[in-house]
Amino acid sequence: MDTLNALAHGFSIALTFQNLGLALIGCFLGTIIGALPGLGPSNGVAILIPLAFSLGLDATPALILLTSVYYGAMYGGRISSILLNIPGDEPALMTTLDGYPMAKKGMAGEALALSGIASFVGAFFATWGLVFLAPQLVKVALLFGPAEYFALFALAFATLGGIASKNQAKAAIAAGLGLGIAMIGVDGQTGVPRFAFGEVHLYDGIDFLVAIVGLFALSEVFIFLEHRGTPKATGDAAAVKLGRLTPPLSMLKQTAPTMARSTVLGFIAGVLPGAGASLGSFIAYSVEKRLVDKDNTFGTGDPRGVAAPEAGNNAAAGGALVPMLALGVPGSGTTAVLLAMLLALNITPGPLLFTNNPDVVWGLIAALFIGNLMLLIMNIPMVSLFVRVLLVPPRYLMPAVAMISFVGIYGISGSTFDLMVMVFFGVLGWLLRKLEVPLVPVILGILLGNQMEANMRRAMTISDGDWSALFASPLSIGLWLFAFFGFIMPIVAGRFFRSKLPRTDSDADPD
Amino acid sequence: MSDRIMGGLGLLLALFFIWQATLIQESFISDPVGPKVFPIIIGVLVGISSLAIFFKPDDEPEWPEFSRLFEVGMTVAVMVAYAYALPLIGFVVSTAFAAGFLSWRLGTPPIKAVIAGVTIAVGIYVVFHLILGLSLARGPWGF
């Protein structure tokens, strides 16, 4: 009952005029960002964080705006998948398999509407899952000491890296790079400068917002520059006819069990650290194909093949918020970016968040429900409006994206030096993406590096320098084992898994 | 080959990082671990994974031809120049120039690119400065 009371309190916060307005703007912007080929939830949220920050929004409204963008982008990803066969981001990849064939059969409108409904079902029930599971996880998290936290961070790197990349060594390099960047600046424990090379600007360390915007948003601009003139860089939705915008009742009946199963699977995939939305949509689609595809219609425009990944990836997006809020460990690339948001607002996610900032947590969760409903209402009748956005050519869009990134960072710091650092990270992000080094572990390293070190040193202080303390409790041993298998498993299972995944250009995209 | 080069550079970076870590000044307040150990652990991690990549490289990525690389380089130069120019000539002028350049390089014909640059700069100025009240860089003309 406590939980429901807290949720009711959350609704009283989220239902203010300002917050409703922000949710509406966020949903709208998010859907557009998700719909545009190349811009996924991580990029979208990354560009908007510095903006929300420099506009001086309070913590709760800022979070409401950005999570609405996040959910909106998860919804929007399906639009370009279905109409153009170009997934806006990796989780939307599976939707192309049956969505695009449906559109080619002249059922684009139905496919869009059905995927909108499936997204709603997935996200709605996943948010309920979040309501009930997160407080339980908090109880477990209260048993964590510094050693357990250190192991948990290791687990996050191992699994997030393991799934995000085809090559474990590259995931490990990415994590090390991020952790190394986090070391720049004054050491929190002893106050000595590290890796600053006498440069005063570096004493404060590298601002993770600068790094994130550079790595995600600017690198995207460079990718577009490189692909100029190829289909990836020239959106063309002019030829698509939408058809009717409501799915027939029979189609909903046929896909209802699919949505239910995919929601559960997606949610579980989202909660598991590191798995995230890509795995959610992949698992939902493959399980559904195995279960119901008796006539081999999957891949040829089967509505169930559209409903499954959409319910799965939106449920996973909700599920990924569970470990992010309760433990402070993000379950996907986009939640890593949301974690950056919280840290920028001086809110540290983790068990104490629920007792220290209940307004933030429950206001946020209530906002998810509201945003989800808004998205459903917005997405069925207004889908033709979003489709028109696909007609804006990247040659006008990407410069605007780049300039808005600069505006956001300059708005926070007013420092030319930070802009240079951002450009540096843009180039670095572009190089890493070319070399198929995943970006998410880099971000995670920058975000968690200092906390990870602090927990390790705290554990050492308690044990007076005895390293075995890191492996002393059953809880920490369990976490280490998970981390170990999370890192090793993809090497074994990865080949099998990836051989079944369709290859597209978006393979190197984050999240 | 690209992966081999990356592995080699990664190893050099790791060695440099570890070497720099050993040079960190110890403070008089300290804990059993100190400020050097964690960076050294990271350096070892990067070093080992760089070696793994060096000896077991992936397939070669598709590098763009030289002209495209040159364009990416030019764009980086324009962005750096943009960062310098912001406080000197103000937001609108420098943004119009940078956005126009980007749009042109992404395939807009020159005259349209100029229009696009000016539109983007003025659009951002109106939305973020005039409507939302965000402070942007002021040049000698106040915008």
- DSSP-assigned letters across all residues of A298-339: TTS--HHHHHHHHHHHHHHHHHHHHHHHHHS--SSHHHHHHH
The DSSP annotation for A179-190 comes to HHHHHSEE-TTT
> Which pLDDT score is estimated for A507?
40
- Cα A433 from Cα A123, distance rounded (Å): 30
Mark yes or no for CB contact A51/B27 under 8 Å. Answer: no
Q: List the single residue in A with minimal CA-CA distance to B117.
A: A399
- Report helix, strand or coil for A98: helix
Greater pLDDT, A233 or A309: A309
Q: List the single residue in B with minimal CA-CA distance to A451.
A: B38
Mean pLDDT of chain A: 82
Q: Are strands A193-194 and A185-186 parallel, antiparallel or unpaired?
A: antiparallel
Q: List the single residue in A with minimal CA-CA distance to B41.
A: A176
pLDDT digits (tens, 9 = 90+) for A254-305: 888 899 999 999 998 888 766 667 778 888 888 888 888 878 888 888 889 8
- Report helix, strand or coil for A194: strand
Give the distance from CA B24 to its chain's centroid.
27
Greater pLDDT, B112 or A104: B112
Mark yes or no for CB contact A226/B72 under 8 Å. Answer: yes
Considering CB atoms only, which of B24, B31, B86 is closest to A457?
Answer: B31
Whether B96 shows a pLDDT value over 90: the answer reads: yes
Whether A359 shows a pLDDT value over 90: the answer reads: no
pLDDT band at B92 (very low <50, low <70, confident <90, very high): very high
Instruction: Assess contact for A290 and A298: CB atoms under 8 A.
Output: no
Q: Which residue has the tokens 């949220």?
A: A45
Task: Sort out which chain B residues have CB atoms less than 8 A from A180's CB and list them.
Answer: 17, 39, 42-43, 46
Task: Sort out which chain B residues have CB atoms less than 8 A from A170's CB and list them.
Answer: 49, 53, 58
Instruction: Assess contact for A317 and A337: CB atoms under 8 A.
Output: no
Q: List the single residue in B with minimal CA-CA distance to A226.
A: B68
Mutate: best of B102, B118, B119, B130, partner A, most A CBs <10 A: B102
In the predicted model, what is the mean pLDDT of residues B62-89?
89
Residue ranges of alpha helices (H) inside B23-109 are 37-55, 66-89, 91-105
For A170-184, A228-242, A254-268, which range has the lowest pLDDT when averaged over its residues?
A228-242
pLDDT digits (tens, 9 = 90+) for A200-224: 888 888 888 889 889 888 888 888 8
Whether A504 shows a pLDDT value over 60: the answer reads: no
In the predicted model, what is the mean pLDDT of residues A423-428?
94
pLDDT band at B63 (very low <50, low <70, confident <90, very high): confident
Task: Sort out which chain B residues have CB atoms less than 8 A from A221's CB and list them.
Answer: 75, 102
Considering CB atoms only, which of B6, B42, B79 is closest to A179?
Answer: B42
Considering CB atoms only, which of A176, A221, A430 is closest to B49?
Answer: A176
How many Å from the N-terminal Cα to the C-terminal Cα in chain B? 48
What is the 8-class DSSP label of residue A219?
Answer: H
pLDDT digits (tens, 9 = 90+) for A84-128: 777 766 777 788 888 888 888 888 888 888 988 999 999 999 999
Sign of CA dihedral A396, B121, A412, B84: positive
Q: What are the strands, taking DSSP E only, across A101-254? A: 185-186, 193-194
What's the gap in Å between the CA of B24 and the closest CA on chain A?
Answer: 6
Whether B120 shows a pLDDT value over 90: the answer reads: yes
Considering CB atoms only, which of A233, A402, A427 is closest to B102?
Answer: A402
Instruction: Assess contact for B135 and B87: CB atoms under 8 A.
Output: no
> Which pLDDT score is estimated for A161?
67
Whether A511 shows a pLDDT value over 60: the answer reads: no
CA dihedral A236→B78→A44→A169, nearest 10 degrees, is 100
- Cα A384 from Cα A109, distance rounded (Å): 9
Q: Which two tokens stand for residue A309?
A: 């990944």
- Cα B55 from Cα B117, distance rounded (Å): 47
> Which pLDDT score is estimated for A426?
94
Mark yes or no for CB contact A435/B6 under 8 Å. Answer: yes
**CB atoms closer than 10 angstroms to residue A396:** 19
In the predicted model, what is the mean pLDDT of residues A362-387?
85
> Which pLDDT score is estimated for B83?
92
Q: Which two tokens stand for residue B121?
A: 């700069």
- For the question of whether the overall pTM of this predicted structure is more than 0.90, the answer is no
- Report helix, strand or coil for A193: strand
Whether A33 shows a pLDDT value over 90: the answer reads: no
Task: Sort out which chain A residues have CB atoms less than 8 A from B20's CB and list them.
Answer: 195
Give the distance from CA B92 to its chain's centroid.
22
Mark yes or no for CB contact A399/B103 under 8 Å. Answer: yes
Q: Which residue has the tokens 């709605």?
A: A124
Mark yes or no for CB contact A55/B132 under 8 Å. Answer: yes
> Which pLDDT score is estimated for A508?
38
Rounded percentage of chain B residues whose pLDDT exceeds 70: 99
Task: Sort out which chain B residues have CB atoms less than 8 A from A173's CB and list them.
Answer: 10, 46, 49-50, 53
ipTM of the complex, rounded to two decimals: 0.93
